[in-house]
């Protein structure tokens, strides 16, 4: 009897629930929500509400009993199987989502070209503008007056010392020589006669056969004749020298210039043209330039004494190199052999002269050239490419790459420049790595990808670009 009551109550609850579901499922787009909690044992727990029962609505789409039966697990193994299937589906969906998600690209590190700081002995030069002149430059002048009779050379050719260059009409001067020689012969004859007279009277005077007056007259005549001979010989020598001047020869070996006077022109020191041509000795040339007082003090501090290469205390000679007109460096080196001891107050510089060999005569006197003079030699100096320096108002700095590929902005004290490099006085040490290219977008503490720069005739940019492209392909 009691069992039937329980069944009746259960039947009433089920009926109420069925009516409620039918009513709600009749509404459009409604998803049924059951006020039923199903525990893990499969016993439905129905919560009674105070909502009044609605009239029964029949729906062809809902069956409460079938829903309840579907929701209620029949056994523990069934629940475990369903949970396993759901878990596998969830894992599969998550895996598919993970594999098909868009790839997030990590921004690549800046690629920079780097070099390792090294030390070496560096020569420091001073650069100046110099003028080349011949070691010897001789002007050929006519020393006697006369008409130019002949030219005995080819213009622009190389001549030797003593070679005949010009012939001036010698007839007049030859006559002077003949006249002087005749006068000399006459004087010598008079001298011989006076000597004979003196020799004759001297023994007579000893025998008292001649007076003292006769002896004195004879001796005076002989001395006068000797004087006349001396004068005549001098006149003859002068006449012969003058005659020799009609033959113009070169005093040195070298190249002769174009003739100044034409054949038949009256030349001479007084009445006509004096300058005939010039001879230049260019086997050795001299280079004149001006140096500042600062460079002089720099060379003095480094024990490079200008103009005194024979000093035993001098460690280094003041060598000179010059640049040719085509921009190439002259293969031979010169040596400073003279430095003016005083400074020009107008320019603040002093004159310096260097002597250089010119065996192939490629250096032409009169041309200007660039002169480099050794001023100092830095031993074990830190020498870095100038392009690695960044110059600001606050000073100069470089980017140093640490072992962990992080750059460090480091201020340095720069020294003199040597070609494409610059000596660093303070701030860098040998063995450190610096950025030589690609530092324009770097900041202190940024991580980079260092790439060794090319050592010979090339830029590091292609290397850096190749490294960057390789990295992108790898990603």
Q: Rounded to whole angstroms, how far apart are CA atoms 412 and 389?
A: 9
Q: Give residue-wise pLDDT tens across range 292-333.
A: 877 777 666 555 556 555 544 444 567 888 888 788 888 888
Query: Cα(432)–Cα(117) distance, rounded to whole angstroms?
Result: 5
Domain identity same for 47 and 66 = yes
* 49 burial level (CB within 10 Å; 0-12, 13-18, 19+): exposed
Give the model's pLDDT for residue 153. 87
Q: Say whether both 263 and 202 belong to one domain.
A: yes
Residue 144 lies in a domain: yes
**In the block, which residue shows the tokens 């039918």?**
22
Q: What is the pLDDT of residues 405-440, one digit of tens each?
A: 888 988 988 888 887 888 888 888 888 888 988 888
pLDDT-based confidence at residue 348 (cuts at 50, 70, 90): confident
Residue 400: give its domain's CATH number: 2.40.420.20
Q: What range does the domain containing 450 cover?
A: 112-117+389-474
CA 126 to CA 373: how far, in whole Å?
5
Q: Average pLDDT for residues 179-205, to the nearest whole number?
A: 91
Residues 142 and 260 in one domain: yes
Domain CATH number, residue 283: 2.40.30.170
- When divided into structural domains, the chain yields a total of 4
CA dist., res. 142 & res. 168, Å (int): 8
* 8-31 pLDDT tens trace: 766 676 666 666 555 454 444 444
Residue 424 bridge partners (DSSP): 382, 414
Residues facing 216 on adjacent strands: none
User: Same domain for 344 and 451?
Assistant: no
The CA distance from 175 to 116, in Å, is 87
| Residue 268 sits in the same domain as residue 308 | no
């Amino acid at each position: 009897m009691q069992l039937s009551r329980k069944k009746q109550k259960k039947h009433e609850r089920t009926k109420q629930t069925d009516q409620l579901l039918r009513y709600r499922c009749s509404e459009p787009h409604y998803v049924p929500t059951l006020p039923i909690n199903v525990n893990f044992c499969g016993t439905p727990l129905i919560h009674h509400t105070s909502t009044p029962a609605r009239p029964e609505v029949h729906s062809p789409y809902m069956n409460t009993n079938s829903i309840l039966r579907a929701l209620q697990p029949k056994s523990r193994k069934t629940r475990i199987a369903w949970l396993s299937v759901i878990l596998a589906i969830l894992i599969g969906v998550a895996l598919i989502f993970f594999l098909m998600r868009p790839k997030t690209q990590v921004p690549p590190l800046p690629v920079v070209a780097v070099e390792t700081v090294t030390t070496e002995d560096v020569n420091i030069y001073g650069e100046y503008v110099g003028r080349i002149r011949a070691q010897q430059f001789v002007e050929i002048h006519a020393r006697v007056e006369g008409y130019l009779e002949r030219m005995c050379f080819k213009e622009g050719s190389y001549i030797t010392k003593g070679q005949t260059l010009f012939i001036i009409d010698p007839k007049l001067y030859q006559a002077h020589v003949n006249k002087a020689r005749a006068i000399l012969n006459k004087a010598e004859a008079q001298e011989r006669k006076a000597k004979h007279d003196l020799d004759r009277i001297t023994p007579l005077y000893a025998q008292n056969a001649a007076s003292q007056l006769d002896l004195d007259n004879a001796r005076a005549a002989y001395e006068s004749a000797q004087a006349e001979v001396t004068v005549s010989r001098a006149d003859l020598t002068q006449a012969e020298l003058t005659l020799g001047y009609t033959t113009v020869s070169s005093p040195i070996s070298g190249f002769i210039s174009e003739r100044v006077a034409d054949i038949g022109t009256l030349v001479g020191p007084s009445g006509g043209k004096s300058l005939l041509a010039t001879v230049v000795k260019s086997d050795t040339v001299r280079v004149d330039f001006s140096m500042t007082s600062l460079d002089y003090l720099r060379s003095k501090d480094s024990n490079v004494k200008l103009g005194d290469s024979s000093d035993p205390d001098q460690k280094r000679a003041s060598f000179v190199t010059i640049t040719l007109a085509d921009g190439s460096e002259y293969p031979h080196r010169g040596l400073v052999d003279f430095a003016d001891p005083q400074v020009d107050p107008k320019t603040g510089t002093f004159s310096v002269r260097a002597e250089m060999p010119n065996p192939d005569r490629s250096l032409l006197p009169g041309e200007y050239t660039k002169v480099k003079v050794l001023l100092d030699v830095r031993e074990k100096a830190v020498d870095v490419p100038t392009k690695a320096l960044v110059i600001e108002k606050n000073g100069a700095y470089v980017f140093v790459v640490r072992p962990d590929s992080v750059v460090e902005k480091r201020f340095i004290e720069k020294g003199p420049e040597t070609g494409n490099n610059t000596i660093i006085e303070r701030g860098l040490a040998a063995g450190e790595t610096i950025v030589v290219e690609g530092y324009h977008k770097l900041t202190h503490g940024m991580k980079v990808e260092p790439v060794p720069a090319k050592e010979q005739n090339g830029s590091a940019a292609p290397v850096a670009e190749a490294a960057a492209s390789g990295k992108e392909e790898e990603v």
